[in-house]
């Protein structure tokens, strides 16, 4: 176990190193000049050189990288060209919104997917299973940017079940108003997750139900219900847990879309705003924060996975 | 031999991909091929209906220029009109014909979807076959690289690159293609590995066949079914990714009709007070994309099942 953990940690550090390298070079190797963004298109060559000097852009690339990495490790992600706010404060304001969105949406997704999968797997390829599988195929073809405008049109614009765009208030200010405003985007995000969790758990349950120990349980005369809950659900839910971690990446994509649509000031909304203002430093900071969070969550889930199912750490 | 059912389709559109899920799916699909001769089950009418719809969409996108359609950029005096004989699906807030924009809009999705997967196949597929065939150090290095690349969230990477590099059609296709290459690499590598040590490959080598011949004439035909069904689902994933970009205003210029752009434009209608919004503007591009994604996902999944005997055990 300790050896496995050590190996995973080394891999994690390597991946984090490449993520930082990737994020840094995105800004520095691709066309576009931060100095010109600051000074405007009519900047003279002399002024550009001065600003380059101030930003340290005239030093060799590897030196710039290590200066940047040193700053990042000390918790300094730079400062916005446009608002002069530090990237760290931008991120600390925006990140809680994404975390709240993800938590609510995952609660909704599990509450729907797990009972559906349990019911469907009892009689594979029969009525209920067929309809719910077909239904999830339909959901599969409805990415957030299709569902979000439709739901907003139906539930916020036409009937005022949920508040419309730009109605976000911080959780600490008005708890229920906040939850109410978060429900619609959370439902949009949940839809994508329901499909994944349902299909995964259904397939795993069906596979588990064919194993010998289930036949054994049947032979002992246990009821279907007891077999399903006591014997089949636990071994099958291991990969569900793993997929929940992997799913975080997709939730980010979806979260960006609903944030943008509903003007929720989360990371996605902030990122798109920064992009439209050519605010390189903010873009770089948010990309780094998101990429590192995804990598860390995946690592944590992988680790939990080996705790729940010790067979994994053995190889 | 692991006889569990394949977890789910390897890539769910718009979702990050677990290397474990990919490996499991690719391995199972490949193992299924080696396991027993696939029974000639019929593909069923659902598959042919879906395949037909996909082909129809592709043809419409290619032939949009010669079909009797209105100019998608033509602004008429009928603004936000509902469906009528003159405008089959109504008009948008600038009086442009929605039907014509939906048909022309398919072009962007098709080019990015099939183009990016083709690029991914050329890069990732070639690397995957060579790595699995050669093994050794080449395999180790490329394999590790693919894991690192997969760790980076695709959408974030694509957004970042698009921001700094610009978003013309070919750039987006290229970027998504490269971003997808590691996924395809893993699938092709797993599929090739299951054949590379088989007797017919050894026999071909003993007969003096060149590496190139073994790769193209012996291995390629065998992994093709797995790769094709996986690629179809990949196309759906890419189309969703492009749609997300377009929705965020980061895809082709807004004046170019594309499904994602149209959905993004309809957003403006949503922000106005109720009653002023034009539901057709949201509905039809959403429907076009929904039907296409549904058809290509179902067709891809059906093909995957067709070449996969593990599910027969159910």
- Averaged over B293-308, what is the pLDDT? 82
CB contact under 8 A, A204 and B7: yes
Q: Residue A291, class by beta-carbon neighbours within 10 Å (0-12 exposed, 13-18 middle, 19+ buried)?
A: buried
- Averaged over A24-41, what is the pLDDT? 69
**Residue B15 touches chain A, beta carbons under 8 Å:** yes
Question: Which candidate, B14, B102, B106, B159, places its Cα nearest to that of B282?
Answer: B102
pLDDT of the residue at B119: 96
Q: In angstroms, what CA-CA distances link B184 with A56, A183, A295?
A: 39, 36, 20
Closest-approach residue (CA) in chain B for A253: B155
Confidence category of residue A313, pLDDT binned at 50, 70, 90: low
Partners of residue A79 on adjacent β-strands: A86
A contacts of B289 (beta carbons < 8 Å): 141, 146
On whether the CB atoms of residues A290 and A253 are closer than 8 A, the answer is: no
CB contact under 8 A, A291 and B148: no
Task: Answer whether residue B186 shows pLDDT above 60.
Answer: yes
CB contact under 8 A, B243 and A146: yes
Rounded distance, CA B117 to CA B301, Å?
17
pLDDT of the residue at B111: 92
Helix, strand, or coil here: A79?
strand
Rounded distance, CA A248 to CA A315, Å?
26
**DSSP summary character for residue B91:** B
Q: In angstroms, what CA-CA distances link B215 with A70, A150, B200, B209, B294?
A: 47, 48, 12, 10, 34
pLDDT of the residue at A249: 67
Predicted confidence (pLDDT) per residue in A209-231, tens digit: 888 888 888 888 888 888 888 78
Predicted confidence (pLDDT) per residue in B18-34, tens digit: 445 555 555 554 444 44
- Averaged over A159-163, what is the pLDDT? 75
Confidence category of residue B40, pLDDT binned at 50, 70, 90: low
- Averaged over A137-148, what is the pLDDT? 84
Partners of residue B97 on adjacent β-strands: B91
On whether the CB atoms of residues A231 and A221 are closer than 8 A, the answer is: no
pLDDT of the residue at B3: 38
**DSSP summary character for residue B273:** P
pLDDT of the residue at B311: 44
The mean pLDDT value of chain A amounts to 80
Question: Which candidate, B309, B259, B303, places its Cα nearest to that of B282?
Answer: B259
The mean pLDDT value of chain B amounts to 77
Closest-approach residue (CA) in chain B for A246: B18
Nearest chain A CA: its distance from B294 CA (Å): 5
- Between CA B244 and CA A142, with CA B224 as vertex, the angle to 5 degrees is 25
Nearest neighbour of B244 by CB, restricted to A19, A253, A298:
A253
Q: Residue B220, class by beta-carbon neighbours within 10 Å (0-12 exposed, 13-18 middle, 19+ buried)?
A: middle
- Averaged over B112-141, what is the pLDDT? 91
- Averaged over A240-268, what is the pLDDT? 78
Q: In angstroms, what CA-CA distances link A18 with A13, A22, A57, A79, B186?
A: 9, 6, 21, 23, 19
On whether the CB atoms of residues A99 and A264 are closer than 8 A, the answer is: no
Of all residues in chain B, the percent with pLDDT exceeding 70 is 77
pLDDT of the residue at B277: 59
Q: Reply yes or no on domain B42-70+81-313 having CATH 3.40.50.2300.
A: no
Confidence category of residue A83, pLDDT binned at 50, 70, 90: confident
Tokens of B42: 């019929």
Nearest chain A CA: its distance from B73 CA (Å): 23
**Neighbour count for residue B147 (Cβ, 10 Å):** 14
Interface probe, candidates B240, B296, B300, chain A, greatest A C-beta count within 10 A: B240
Lowest mean pLDDT among A177-186, B72-81, B201-210, B233-242: B72-81
Nearest neighbour of B156 by CB, restricted to A164, A192, A290:
A290
CB contact under 8 A, A252 and B153: yes
Lowest mean pLDDT among A108-122, B3-17, B122-136, B202-216: B3-17
**Residue B1 touches chain A, beta carbons under 8 Å:** no
- Pick A205 or B120 by higher pLDDT: B120
Predicted confidence (pLDDT) per residue in B223-249, tens digit: 888 888 888 888 988 888 888 888 888
Question: Which candidate, A291, A252, A310, places its Cα nearest to that of A12?
Answer: A291
- Averaged over A248-275, what is the pLDDT? 81
Number of cross-chain residue pairs from A and B with Cβ atoms under 8 Å apart: 187
pLDDT of the residue at B14: 37
- Please, which residues have CB within 8 angstroms of residue A15's CB and are 6 or more apart in sequence? A295, B147, B148, B151
Rounded distance, CA B242 to CA B219, Å?
32
- Averaged over B138-160, what is the pLDDT? 79
- Pick A7 or B274 by higher pLDDT: A7
- Averaged over A153-179, what is the pLDDT? 74
pLDDT of the residue at B12: 37
Closest-approach residue (CA) in chain A for B242: A145
B contacts of A18 (beta carbons < 8 Å): 148, 151-152
Nearest chain B CA: its distance from A55 CA (Å): 18
pLDDT of the residue at B38: 46
Task: For chain B, positions 20-59, list CB contacts with chain A under 8 A.
Answer: 20-21
pLDDT of the residue at B4: 39
B contacts of A203 (beta carbons < 8 Å): 5-8
pLDDT of the residue at B23: 56
- Averaged over B118-139, what is the pLDDT? 90
Nearest chain A CA: its distance from B208 CA (Å): 38
- Averaged over B257-262, what is the pLDDT? 84
> What domains sit in chain A, N to C, each tagged with a CATH number?
2-73 (no CATH), 87-310 (1.10.3720.10)
Confidence category of residue A32, pLDDT binned at 50, 70, 90: low
pLDDT of the residue at B1: 36
Task: For chain B, positions 209-268, list CB contacts with chain A under 8 A.
Answer: 236, 240-241, 243-244, 246-250, 260, 263, 266-267
Nearest neighbour of B156 by CB, restricted to A140, A242, A287:
A287
Relative orientation angle of helices B220-247 and A144-151, to the nearest 10 degrees: 30
Closest-approach residue (CA) in chain A for B279: A153
Nearest chain A CA: its distance from B57 CA (Å): 16
- Averaged over B296-309, what is the pLDDT? 78
Task: Answer whether residue B141 shows pLDDT above 80.
Answer: yes
Of all residues in chain A, the percent with pLDDT exceeding 90 is 2
Q: What residue spans define the domains of chain B?
A: 42-70+81-313
């Amino acid at each position: 176990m300790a050896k496995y953990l050590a190996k995973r940690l080394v891999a994690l550090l390597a991946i984090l190193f490449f993520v930082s390298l990737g994020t840094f070079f995105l800004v520095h190797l691709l066309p576009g000049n931060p100095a010109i963004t600051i000074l405007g298109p009519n900047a003279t060559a002399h002024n550009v050189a001065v600003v380059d000097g101030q930003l340290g852009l005239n030093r060799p690339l590897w030196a710039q990288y290590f200066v940047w990495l040193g700053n990042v490790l000390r918790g300094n992600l730079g400062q916005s060209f446009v608002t002069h706010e530090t990237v760290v404060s931008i991120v600390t304001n925006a990140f809680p919104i994404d975390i709240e969105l993800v938590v609510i949406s995952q609660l909704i997704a599990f509450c729907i997917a797990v009972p559906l999968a349990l019911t469907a797997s009892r009689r594979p390829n029969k009525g209920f299973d067929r309809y719910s599988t077909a239904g999830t195929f339909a959901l599969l073809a409805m990415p957030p940017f299709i569902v979000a405008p439709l739901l907003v049109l139906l539930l916020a614009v036409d009937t005022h079940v949920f508040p419309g765009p730009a109605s976000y208030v911080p959780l600490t200010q008005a708890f229920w108003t906040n939850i109410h405003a978060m429900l619609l985007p959370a439902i949009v995000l949940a839809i994508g997750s329901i499909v994944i969790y349902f299909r995964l758990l259904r397939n795993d349950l069906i596979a588990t139900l064919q194993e010998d120990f289930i036949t054994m349980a049947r032979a002992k005369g246990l009821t279907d219900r007891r077999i399903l809950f006591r014997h089949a659900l636990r071994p099958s839910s291991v990969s569900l847990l793993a997929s929940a971690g992997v799913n975080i990446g997709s939730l980010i994509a979806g979260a960006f879309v609903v944030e943008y649509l509903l003007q929720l000031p989360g990371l996605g909304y902030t990122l798109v705003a920064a992009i439209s203002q050519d605010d390189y430093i903010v873009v770089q900071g948010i990309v780094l924060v998101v990429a590192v969070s995804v990598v860390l969550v995946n690592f944590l889930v992988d680790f939990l996975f080996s705790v729940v199912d010790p067979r994994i750490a053995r190889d | 031999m692991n006889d569990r059912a394949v977890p789910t389709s390897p890539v769910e559109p718009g979702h990050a991909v677990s290397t474990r899920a990919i490996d499991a799916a690719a391995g199972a699909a490949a193992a299924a091929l080696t396991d027993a001769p696939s029974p000639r089950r019929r593909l069923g009418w659902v598959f042919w209906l879906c395949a037909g719809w996909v082909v129809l969409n592709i043809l419409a996108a290619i032939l949009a220029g010669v079909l009797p359609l209105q100019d998608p950029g033509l602004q008429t005096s009928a603004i936000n009109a509902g469906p009528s004989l003159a405008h089959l699906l109504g008009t948008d807030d600038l009086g442009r014909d929605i039907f014509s924009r939906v048909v022309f809009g398919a072009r962007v999705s098709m080019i990015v979807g099939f183009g990016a997967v083709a690029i991914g196949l050329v890069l990732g597929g070639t690397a995957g076959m060579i790595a699995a065939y050669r093994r050794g150090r080449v395999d180790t290095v490329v394999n590790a690289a693919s894991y690192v690349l997969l760790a980076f969230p695709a959408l974030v990477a694509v957004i970042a690159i698009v921001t700094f590099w610009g978003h013309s059609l070919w750039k987006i296709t290229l970027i998504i293609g490269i971003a997808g290459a590691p996924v395809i690499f893993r699938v092709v590598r797993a599929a090739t590995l299951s054949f590379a040590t088989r007797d017919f490959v050894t026999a071909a080598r003993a007969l003096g066949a060149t590496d190139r011949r073994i790769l193209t004439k012996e291995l390629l035909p065998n992994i093709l079914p797995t790769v094709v069904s996986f690629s179809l689902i990949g196309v759906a994933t890419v189309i969703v990714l492009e749609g997300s970009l377009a929705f965020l205003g980061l895809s082709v210029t807004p004046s170019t009709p594309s499904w994602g752009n149209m959905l993004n434009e309809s957003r403006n209608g949503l922000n106005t007070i109720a009653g002023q919004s034009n539901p057709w503007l949201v509905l039809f591009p959403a429907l076009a994309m929904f039907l296409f994604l549904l058809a290509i996902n179902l067709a891809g999944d059906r093909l995957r099942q067709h070449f996969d005997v593990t599910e027969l055990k159910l």
